[in-house]
Amino acid sequence: MFQLNQEEFNNWKSQFATSNSILMGARKRPYAFTENGIAMLSSVLRSPTAIEANIRIMRASFTLMQDIKKEDLINKIQGK
């Protein structure tokens, strides 16, 4: 588990529409799990809900990585 740095936090916050960052929204940098951290967590949490959540997170992570690789490939082909 790790805490987002300030740049990651600002980028993450920009993904959400908040009317007033002082009064609303996240005020502290959140913690996040790596893909390996999620796998380790699933070995500890064994409830059906935890297992289902883990599967969904792993699938989303896998899809995200595929999309990033596709974007990198497109950029290489386009010479960016």
pLDDT tens, N- to C-terminus, the chain (80 residues): 778 888 888 777 666 655 455 555 567 787 777 777 777 777 787 788 888 888 888 888 888 888 888 888 777 788 87
Provide the whole-model pTM.
0.49
DSSP-assigned letters across all residues of 5-39 = -HHHHHHHHTTS--S-TTTSS--SPPEE--HHHHH
50: amino acid identity, one letter: A
